[in-house]
């Protein structure tokens, strides 16, 4: 059969049409992949945000609660359909500027195709009052709606640094926790909020709706079968005593430093003050204050209690004394002379204040004699038991580390630093293997030189002495039904020094505060009538300026309830500022108030401004 060209073309036309129809048949009828996909396109996901867990103090007081705020969402697509929008009225209702509103609207208009159907958050966290006003006028602003968010509320001004803040996830967080967060979610950034993020955040819920052809949400998808309700976060009970914390913060106002209070028996942190710190008002509005906080030259963001590196000063004499006793190179009744210091080389002397001489161990602790502990440290390092000073030093270092120095205590507080205790190899490197001896590193005897510790480690030392030889790892979260804590916080951590030796030094700490030895006392100012306070002062030399004032104390002597370490930078003698601060906190903790006789002390501390002058840039 011969076909004409017209017929061939007609056949071609029919074949082409058939190809189109066959293809249509296959995607429209035989394959339901596209129908399902169109349903997915038609689904609207509405996030249900969980309320974050509440943070309590040890007495059931709310430190961090929640309150309601509203985000204002806008649909760019609906926006582009509006003929008229009163931006002035909108700005008024939302309590913002007209420029802001117009700027945002312009942005949504420019990117309307890219943004598509997604609602955009125009303003975050407006107050319920503003939101009510917006609701009343909602008819004027059809493309806008509110979304409830629960935000943090701080009813009690205590522990800004400790609690940390919550803010929206940033690109970093999203990368670090892939799949867990979406932009717009909140995450704990610092402090307890960060450390306990997984407990606190709860689980986001989701409601799925179907849209119909007019883009209005119709009904729950599959009758809500796939909907998920939000699961609120777990509440956290902290070990903090809110009132003590608050009082500590007030005492430390206008001072740079830290106060850490620990319950010795349990290792629970009662207060943890880093000053200058962040006020909870600033936490609540972190977005507004963030730059101000970050650029503050006094670095309020730095949590000095776990991140500050300080020479411990004279409080470290306790450690050396205990090591000496345990090693058998020191007996409590050993006396050493002190002629205003210790002459360790021709013409070189480590100085001391004036006091009677010679002294035994307890008096040396009570008056904080420098020379005495030089002898002790000499005897430790020059012990015949060891072949070399390196061996002796390493052995000493093991002792020190068993007190929790030079390593992380592994508390549950994030960003804890380890402090630093030098090693013999470090000295070998500096001076050569045979190039150093006890005299070279004599400052270590009195807690100066290369020793650096955090205030938390000092408080832990105090708790260890109070317990006579052991501590529990300091921690800030209490065990509760919803939030379990690690077993390690329940275990006793023993030092390498026997309990017996501790009993020998405690009397010296008692004398330091309450008097009773044959020589002078350094910590009288910390004495509280009716309480057997034991303490040890420290005046740590500060290469950057005035000496740091250090004080550790615990009470009562026989059944210690609290151990405190106070560290005030650039404040002079330990007894001048750190002593009163620690002692006042202790008094408040036991008595709930400051007795009238000691009111003057409180006034003096409150009134003092010890902020070091800023270095000129």
Contact 236, 483 (CB under 8 A): yes
Stretch near another protein under the rule CB under 8 A, chosen from 74-82, 164-172, 319-327, 601-609: 74-82
Furthest-apart CA atoms within the chain: distance in Å? 135
Q: CA-CA distance, 479 to 177, in Å (whole number)?
A: 26
Handedness of CA 180, 183, 184, 189 (dihedral sign): positive
Cis geometry, peptide bond prior to residue 613 (ω within 30 degrees of 0): no
Q: Which two tokens stand for residue 268?
A: 């629970």
286: left (phi over 0), alpha (psi -120 to 50) or beta: alpha
Asked if 603 interacts with another protein (CB under 8 A), we say: no
Q: CA-CA distance, 265 to 464, in Å (whole number)?
A: 9
Asked if 617 interacts with another protein (CB under 8 A), we say: no
Stretch near another protein under the rule CB under 8 A, chosen from 25-33, 152-160, 431-439, 520-528: 25-33
Asked if 219 interacts with another protein (CB under 8 A), we say: no
Contact 402, 408 (CB under 8 A): no
Residue of 67, 77, 407, 524 interacting with another protein (CB under 8 A): 77
- Contacting residues for 266 by C-beta, under 8 A, at least 6 apart: 239, 472
Asked if 204 interacts with another protein (CB under 8 A), we say: no
Q: CA-CA distance, 371 to 353, in Å (whole number)?
A: 10
Residue of 129, 139, 178, 216 interacting with another protein (CB under 8 A): 216
26: left (phi over 0), alpha (psi -120 to 50) or beta: alpha
Q: Which two tokens stand for residue 62?
A: 């709310």
Q: Please write down the long-range contacts of 78-85, taking CB distance under 8 Å and 24 or more positions apart.
A: 78/142, 78/143, 79/105, 79/108, 79/109, 79/112, 79/143, 80/108, 80/109, 80/112, 81/143, 82/142, 82/143, 85/141, 85/143
Residue of 136, 170, 212, 229 interacting with another protein (CB under 8 A): 212
**Smallest distance, another protein to C-beta of residue 93, A:** 23
Contacts (CB under 8 A) with another protein, residues 531-570 = none
3-state SS assignment for residue 29: helix
Cβ closest to another protein, residue 84 vs residue 543: 84
# residues near another protein by CB under 8 A:
38
**Smallest distance, another protein to C-beta of residue 44, A:** 10
Residue of 215, 228, 331, 599 interacting with another protein (CB under 8 A): 215
The alpha carbon of residue 437 and the mean position of all alpha carbons in its chain are separated, in whole angstroms, by 40
Residue of 16, 148, 219, 430 interacting with another protein (CB under 8 A): 16
CA distances from 173 to 52, 184, 558 (A): 18, 12, 48
Q: CA-CA distance, 285 to 316, in Å (whole number)?
A: 41
Q: Identify the DSSP state of 162.
A: H
Stretch near another protein under the rule CB under 8 A, chosen from 188-196, 211-219, 251-259, 394-402: 211-219
Q: Which two tokens stand for residue 128?
A: 């319920």
Cβ closest to another protein, residue 144 vs residue 405: 144
Cβ closest to another protein, residue 211 vs residue 504: 211
Residue of 1, 6, 225, 351 interacting with another protein (CB under 8 A): 6
Asked if 1 interacts with another protein (CB under 8 A), we say: no
CA distances from 221 to 50, 211, 285 (A): 21, 9, 38
Asked if 25 interacts with another protein (CB under 8 A), we say: yes
Asked if 23 interacts with another protein (CB under 8 A), we say: yes
**Smallest distance, another protein to C-beta of residue 204, A:** 24
Asked if 19 interacts with another protein (CB under 8 A), we say: yes
> Closest by alpha carbon to 489, among 239, 258, 241, 309?
239
**Smallest distance, another protein to C-beta of residue 213, A:** 5
Strand partners, 148: 70
Cβ closest to another protein, residue 4 vs residue 432: 4
Asked if 28 interacts with another protein (CB under 8 A), we say: yes
Residue of 1, 2, 20, 171 interacting with another protein (CB under 8 A): 20
Cβ closest to another protein, residue 34 vs residue 431: 34
Cβ closest to another protein, residue 116 vs residue 530: 116
Question: What pairing do the DSSP bridges indicate for beta strands 548-555 and 562-568?
Answer: antiparallel
Residue of 213, 345, 387, 614 interacting with another protein (CB under 8 A): 213
Cβ closest to another protein, residue 34 vs residue 309: 34
Contacts (CB under 8 A) with another protein, residues 98-117 = 116-117
Asked if 46 interacts with another protein (CB under 8 A), we say: no
Cβ closest to another protein, residue 116 vs residue 435: 116
Question: What pairing do the DSSP bridges indicate for beta strands 55-56 and 236-237?
Answer: parallel
**Smallest distance, another protein to C-beta of residue 8, A:** 8
Stretch near another protein under the rule CB under 8 A, chosen from 210-218, 399-407, 521-529, 544-552: 210-218
Residue of 47, 48, 68, 78 interacting with another protein (CB under 8 A): 78
Stretch near another protein under the rule CB under 8 A, chosen from 27-35, 127-135, 399-407, 460-468: 27-35
Contact 549, 578 (CB under 8 A): yes
Cβ closest to another protein, residue 16 vs residue 98: 16
Cβ closest to another protein, residue 10 vs residue 599: 10
**Smallest distance, another protein to C-beta of residue 122, A:** 20
**Smallest distance, another protein to C-beta of residue 140, A:** 16
Residue of 102, 133, 211, 598 interacting with another protein (CB under 8 A): 211
Stretch near another protein under the rule CB under 8 A, chosen from 32-40, 187-195, 357-365, 508-516: 32-40
**Smallest distance, another protein to C-beta of residue 25, A:** 6
- Contacting residues for 270 by C-beta, under 8 A, at least 6 apart: 58, 239, 240, 241, 244, 245, 261, 262, 263, 562, 589
CA distances from 608 to 565, 569, 599 (A): 19, 13, 14
**Smallest distance, another protein to C-beta of residue 74, A:** 15
Chain residues that interact with another protein, rule: CB under 8 A: 5-6, 9-10, 12-14, 16-17, 19-21, 23-25, 27-29, 31, 33-35, 37-39, 41-42, 77-78, 81, 116-117, 211-216
């Amino acid at each position: 059969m011969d076909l004409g060209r017209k017929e061939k073309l007609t056949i071609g036309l029919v074949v082409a049409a058939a190809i189109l129809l066959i293809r249509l048949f296959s995607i429209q009828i035989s394959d339901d992949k596209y129908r399902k996909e169109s349903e997915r396109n038609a689904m609207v996901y509405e996030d249900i945000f969980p309320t974050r867990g509440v943070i309590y103090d040890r007495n059931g007081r709310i430190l961090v609660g929640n309150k309601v705020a509203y985000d204002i969402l806008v649909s760019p697509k609906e926006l582009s359909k509006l003929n008229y929008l009163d931006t002035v009225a909108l700005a008024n209702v939302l309590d913002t500027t007209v420029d802001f509103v117009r700027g945002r609207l312009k942005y949504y208009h420019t990117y309307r195709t890219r943004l598509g159907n997604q609602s955009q958050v125009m303003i975050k966290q407006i107050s319920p009052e503003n939101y009510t006003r917006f609701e009343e006028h909602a008819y004027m602003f059809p493309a806008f709606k509110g979304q409830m968010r629960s935000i943090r509320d701080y009813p009690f001004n205590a522990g800004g640094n400790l609690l940390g803040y919550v803010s929206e996830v940033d690109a970093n967080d999203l990368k670090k926790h892939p799949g867990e967060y979406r932009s717009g979610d909140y995450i704990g950034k610092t402090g307890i909020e960060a450390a306990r993020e997984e407990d606190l955040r709860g689980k986001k819920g989701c409601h799925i709706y179907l849209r119909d052809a007019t883009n209005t949400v119709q009904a729950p998808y599959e009758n809500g079968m796939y909907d998920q309700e939000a699961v609120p976060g777990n509440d956290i009970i902290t070990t903090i005593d809110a009132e003590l914390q608050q009082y500590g913060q007030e005492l430390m106002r206008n001072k740079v430093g830290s106060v850490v209070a620990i319950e010795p028996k349990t290792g629970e942190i009662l207060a943890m003050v880093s000053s200058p710190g962040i006020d909870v008002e600033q936490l609540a509005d972190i977005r507004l204050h963030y730059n101000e906080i970050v650029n503050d030259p006094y670095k309020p963001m730095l949590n000095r209690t776990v991140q500050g590196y300080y020479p411990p000063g004279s409080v470290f004499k306790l450690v050396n004394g205990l090591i000496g006793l345990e090693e058998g190179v020191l007996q409590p009744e050993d006396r050493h002379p002190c002629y205003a210091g210790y002459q360790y080389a021709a013409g070189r002397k480590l100085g001391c204040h004036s006091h009677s001489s010679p002294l035994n161990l307890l008096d040396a602790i009570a008056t904080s004699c420098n020379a005495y502990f030089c002898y002790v440290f000499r005897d430790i390092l020059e012990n015949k038991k060891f072949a070399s000073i390196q061996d002796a030093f390493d052995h000493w270092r093991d002792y020190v580390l068993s007190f929790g120095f030079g390593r992380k205590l592994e508390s549950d507080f994030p960003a804890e630093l380890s402090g630093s205790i030098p090693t013999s190899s470090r000295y070998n490197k500096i001076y050569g293997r045979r190039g150093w001896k006890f005299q070279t590193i004599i400052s270590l005897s009195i807690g100066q030189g290369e020793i650096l510790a955090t205030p938390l480690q000092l408080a832990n030392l105090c708790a260890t002495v109070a317990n006579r030889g052991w501590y529990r790892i300091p921690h800030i979260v209490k065990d509760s039904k919803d939030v379990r804590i690690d077993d390690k916080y329940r275990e006793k951590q023993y030092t390498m020094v026997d309990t017996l030796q501790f009993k020998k030094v405690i009397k010296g700490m008692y004398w330091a505060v309450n008097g009773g030895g044959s020589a002078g006392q350094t910590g009288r100012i910390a004495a509280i009538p009716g309480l057997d306070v034991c303490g040890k002062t420290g005046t740590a030399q500060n290469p950057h300026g005035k000496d740091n004032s250090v004080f550790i104390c615990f009470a009562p002597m026989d059944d210690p309830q609290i151990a405190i370490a106070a560290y005030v930078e650039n404040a002079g003698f330990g007894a001048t500022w750190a002593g009163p601060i620690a002692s006042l906190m202790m008094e408040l903790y036991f008595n709930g108030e400051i007795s009238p006789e000691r009111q003057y002390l409180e006034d003096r501390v409150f009134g003092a401004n010890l902020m070091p002058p800023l270095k000129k840039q």
